[in-house]
Amino acid sequence: MLKLVGGGGGQDWACSVAGTSLGGEEAAFEVARPGDRGKAGGGSPGWGCAGIPDSAPGAGVLQAGAVGPARGGQGAEEVGESAGGGVERRVRHPQAPALRLLNRKPQGGSGEIKTPENDLQRGRLSRGPRAAPPAPGMGDRSGQQERSVPHSPGAPVGTSAAAVNGLLHNGFHPPPVQPPHVCSRGPVGGSDAAPQRLPLLPELQPQPLLPQHDSPAKKCRLRRRMDSGRKNRPPFPWFGMDIGGTLVKLVYFEPKDITAEEEQEEVENLKSIRKYLTSNTAYGKTGIRDVHLELKNLTMCGRKGNLHFIRFPSCAMHRFIQMGSEKNFSSLHTTLCATGGGAFKFEEDFRMIADLQLHKLDELDCLIQGLLYVDSVGFNGKPECYYFENPTNPELCQKKPYCLDNPYPMLLVNMGSGVSILAVYSKDNYKRVTGTSLGGGTFLGLCCLLTGCETFEEALEMAAKGDSTNVDKLVKDIYGGDYERFGLQGSAVASSFGNMMSKEKRDSISKEDLARATLVTITNNIGSIARMCALNENIDRVVFVGNFLRINMVSMKLLAYAMDFWSKGQLKALFLEHEGYFGAVGALLELFKMTDDK
């Protein structure tokens, strides 16, 4: 496995950019990343600092308990939100079910899509004229939906929303009820492609958190950079960031419909950013663009383009900010929408060093909105969501598309450094059920300590070769066979790392076996907690996301197995292609939302 992505460059992303003038960037970038593009694109790059996902940083064990009355489960973040200045969340959540229904429609894609063709496309948010025809596997959908419908009754909110919104059942939109959305495309694009905004009541509209650039000169420049004829569209570049405990996830929208006039007007450093990001797949030593995840020909906020997915370790955050400063990023007057704990941790640095004001967003909100959005636009014509058929039979187990058009209620398990578990009843109605500190960070941390490995990729590679049963004590190791009294199979793990109590066995164990045991232990534990939460919340669909699952087929299959086996087939484990990027996507969506609200 390749480890040094930076190649000969040896510099890391921020450093390589630092100090160069606008004109010199391209060269610097080339030094940084010669020839690694393909590998990065293949999704299996190694990178120096950490491949570990992050996510829900607040997560952990911590707020597990916090079930606030209004939001049902979010205590800590809720406070955070208000303290951070956002009125939005607080206002939105207490809303009555009726309001939620109203909100549900646009999410279902109602307003903007008027043509039958578009209706047939699954998007709640159209991907525009070039949107792919129904993806393979879509044919299954109706069937799956039917199957999934009986699962719904558990949660009243989800059910009622589904019932009202015919779309959820048959894939067709109800007669459009055009909400007063501000992000309209104007005459040319029509309203068909604009990402739909929540038709929030005025008093519920998210309020801009930060003083906007308000000097006359700034406003003037701002206006100039805006698309002609469109008012409330944010200036480029469009970024969404999710700064986790281990990993920063960045999504970047690259407009592909730039007119000659725009091209001319595009300021130099904006152009260089675009070129830099889109012509490289790795940035510095540790930044990676997941080319295979790129969403092509997407229409966002009335513009057509590609959505790029980039990640780098959180420890490179300061260099990133430094770069922002040196690139005079603040002159672009874009709003940096950021979520994750790092949005708070680095806020001051962004302001002081780079003169950038972060728009801080709640990570769980972003996660859910991002997930729903990406699922709705699909994955370049393929479905975003999938499951494993025959999860308990290793030979017949295979990946199958799953239609998440009617996702509620769902248990959303976000596995980053730590793990957060949410019960989602509708787009805006969810609660944080619990969380655990045994997550991706624990897997990598323990693996590093036990095997001396340094990266997530390395750890997973070792785990793939190992055998955990040498490390774990199995039921049969204790009872000589099955433990019949309790119906436990002899092959079940009785004690993770239990064999390591013996010195002889410790002395003879391989690193690969240790890595595998660590992976299995962490994964099964998450599965076990998720399963209990699903039972307690009476939800039978469990959606696993987060970067812990990146290139981690072992864990995915284990989770699929665990959900199915222990529930006797009652629970279904679902996965999404863009695993760890939903928070960042959600943050980007907030950028459009903010602009709408102006």
Partner 1 sequence: PDGCSVGHGPPGPLCPGPESCPVCVSFAGGSLTKLAYYSTVQHKVAKVRSFDHSGKDTEREHEPPYEISVQEEITARLHFIKFENTYIEACLDFIKDHLVNTETKVIQATGGGAYKFKDLIEEKLRLKVDKEDVMTCLIKGCNFVLKNIPHEAFVYQKDSDPEFRFQTNHPHIFPYLLVNIGSGVSIVKVETEDRFEWVGGSSIGGGTFWGLGALLTKTKKFDELLHLASRGQHSNVDMLVRDVYGGAHQTLGLSGNLIASSFGKSATADQEFSKEDMAKSLLHMISNDIGQLACLHARLHSLDRVYFGGFFIRGHPVTMRTITYSINFFSKGEVQALFLRHEGYLGAIGAFLKGAEQDNPNQYSWGENYAGSSGLMSASPELGPAQRARSGTFDLLEMDRLERPLVNLPLLLDPPSYVPDTVDLTDDALARKYWLTCFEEALDGVVKRAVASQPDSVDAAERAEKFRQKYWNKLQTLRQQPFAYGTLTVRSLLDTREHCLNEFNFPDPYSKVKQRENGVALRCFPGVVRSLDALGWEERQLALVKGLLAGNVFDWGAKAVSEPWLVDSYSEWLQRLKGPPHKCALIFADNSGIDIILGVFPFVRELLLRGTEVILACNSGPALNDVTHSESLIVAERIAGMDPVVHSALREERLLLVQTGSSSPCLDLSRLDKGLAALVRERGADLVVIEGMGRAVHTNYHAALRCESLKLAVIKNAWLAERLGGRLFSVIFKYEVPAE
Q: Does residue 95 bind partner 1 (CB under 8 A)?
A: no
For partner 1, the closer CB: 285 or 303: 285
Residues 419-448 that bind partner 1 (CB under 8 A): 434, 436-442, 444-446, 448
Q: Does residue 487 bind partner 1 (CB under 8 A)?
A: yes
Q: What are phi and psi of 215, to 5 degrees?
A: -70, 150
Q: What are phi and psi of 313, to 5 degrees?
A: -65, 145
For partner 1, the closer CB: 51 or 324: 51
Question: Across the beta sheet with 419-424, what order do the strands follow?
Answer: 398-401, 385-389, 572-576, 541-545, 410-415, 419-424, 430-436
Please state, as a whole number, how many other Cβ atoms lie within 10 Å of the Cβ of residue 516.
26
Q: Which two tokens stand for residue 379?
A: 């994955």
Amino acid identity at 155 = A
Q: Does residue 189 bind partner 1 (CB under 8 A)?
A: no
Q: How far is the CB of 561 from partner 1 (least distance, A)?
A: 15
For partner 1, the closer CB: 68 or 97: 68
**Which of 110, 376, 417, 547 is in the footprint of partner 1 by CB under 8 A?**
417
SS3 393: coil
For partner 1, the closer CB: 63 or 322: 63
Q: Does residue 244 bind partner 1 (CB under 8 A)?
A: yes
Rg of the Cα atoms in the chain:
24
Q: How far is the CB of 426 from partner 1 (least distance, A)?
A: 24
CA atoms within 13 A on the CB side of 486: 8
CA distance 483 to 258: 67
Sign of torsion, CA 593 249 384 153?
negative
Helix (H) or strand (E) holding 311: strand 303-313
SS3 555: helix
Q: Does residue 49 bind partner 1 (CB under 8 A)?
A: yes
Q: How far is the CB of 347 from partner 1 (least distance, A)?
A: 7
Q: How far is the CB of 158 from partner 1 (least distance, A)?
A: 21
Q: How far is the CB of 403 from partner 1 (least distance, A)?
A: 30
Q: Which stretch binds partner 1 (CB under 8 A): 122-130, 178-186, 243-251, 577-585?
A: 243-251
Q: What are residue 409's DSSP bridge partners?
A: none
Catalytic residue among 81, 88, 363, 512: 363
Q: How far is the CB of 148 from partner 1 (least distance, A)?
A: 24
Q: Does residue 339 bind partner 1 (CB under 8 A)?
A: no
Q: Does residue 344 bind partner 1 (CB under 8 A)?
A: yes
CA distance 254 to 257: 9
With residues binned 3-state (H G I as helix, E B as strand, rest as coil), the percentages for the chain, rounded to 5, are: 45, 15, 40
**Which of 536, 553, 569, 598 is in the footprint of partner 1 by CB under 8 A?**
536
User: Does the annotation mark 347 as catalytic?
Assistant: no
For partner 1, the closer CB: 152 or 434: 434
Q: Does residue 501 bind partner 1 (CB under 8 A)?
A: yes
Q: Which stretch binds partner 1 (CB under 8 A): 62-70, 155-163, 366-374, 381-389?
A: 62-70
| Closest to 539 (Cα-Cα) out of 439, 430, 403, 401 | 430
For partner 1, the closer CB: 138 or 446: 446
**Which of 22, 315, 353, 397 is in the footprint of partner 1 by CB under 8 A?**
315
Q: How far apart are the first and last CA of the chain?
A: 49
Contacts of residues 260-265 at CB distance under 8 Å and 24 or more positions apart, as own/partner, are 261/228, 262/227, 265/224, 265/225
Binding mask 106-145 for partner 1 (x = CB under 8 A): ----------------------------------------
Q: Does residue 478 bind partner 1 (CB under 8 A)?
A: yes
SS3 300: strand
For partner 1, the closer CB: 175 or 452: 452
Residues classed as catalytic: 363
